[in-house]
């Protein structure tokens, strides 16, 4: 009988709490990020989820529309990065969109989500702006700690962290 210390690597690998086999190092499996429509008592949202990591976030029309004003040429979610947890994987995710067109509307804004050749296209019909998020950008959004970042982003993108702290204090 061999102990775990002397067992070959293949025998030491165990499923983690998500059922994925790991050896304790960085995750290299290619996760799937799913975008779907979510209807709540507070209205329609876009749900961005990564089931393998048990992560998800729901985004309303204003949050989605705010992304259309970001610079697609660099990193369209750069201003949100301080509020995104590290998912612990370098693997390039695959993107799954539940419907051909997902329309999220509220009394203030509108966002239309569609599949693009290189990711997820978010369009704001009222402003005419759009942005394409890569599968990695969409994946990273699922790890957003809270959606206060979008509100602060709309208020003043330069002082994002200060705005988030002030808004969170107001709600406590």
Whether this prediction's pTM lies above 0.75 is answered by no
Kindly provide the b/e burial profile for residues 136-171, where b requires at least 16 CB atoms within 10 angstroms of the residue's own CB. Answer: bbbbbbbbbeebbbbebbeeeeeebeebbeebeeee
pLDDT for position 71? 74
pLDDT for position 98? 95
165-171-172 Cα angle (round to 5): 90
For the chain, give every domain's residue range: 27-145
pLDDT for position 73? 74
pLDDT for position 27? 52
User: Residues 60, 106: contact at Cβ < 8 Å?
Assistant: yes
pLDDT in tens, the chain (172 residues): 444 434 343 434 444 444 444 445 555 578 999 999 999 888 899 999 999 999 999 999 999 998 888 777 778 888 888 888 888 888 899 999 999 999 999 988 999 999 998 999 999 999 899 999 999 999 999 999 888 888 766 765 444 455 455 556 656 6
User: Residues 59, 49: contact at Cβ < 8 Å?
Assistant: no
Q: What six digits make up the tokens of 77?
A: 């979610």
CB atoms within 10 A of CB 97: 20
């Amino acid at each position: 009988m061999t102990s775990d210390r002397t067992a070959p690597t293949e025998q030491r690998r165990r499923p983690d709490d998500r059922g994925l086999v790991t050896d304790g190092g960085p995750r290299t499996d290619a996760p799937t990020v799913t975008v779907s429509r979510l209807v709540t008592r507070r209205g329609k949202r876009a749900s961005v989820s990564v089931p393998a990591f048990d992560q998800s976030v729901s985004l309303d029309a204003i949050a989605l529309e705010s992304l259309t004003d970001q610079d697609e040429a660099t990193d369209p979610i750069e201003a949100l990065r301080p509020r995104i947890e590290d998912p612990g994987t370098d693997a390039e995710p695959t993107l799954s969109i539940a419907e051909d067109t997902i329309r999220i509307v509220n009394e203030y804004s509108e966002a239309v989500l569609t599949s693009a050749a290189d990711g997820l296209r978010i369009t704001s019909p009222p402003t005419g702006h759009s942005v394409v998020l890569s599968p990695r950008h969409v994946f990273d959004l699922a790890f957003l700690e809270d959606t206060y970042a979008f509100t602060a982003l709309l208020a003043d993108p330069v002082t994002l962290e200060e705005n988030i702290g002030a808004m969170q204090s107001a709600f406590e």
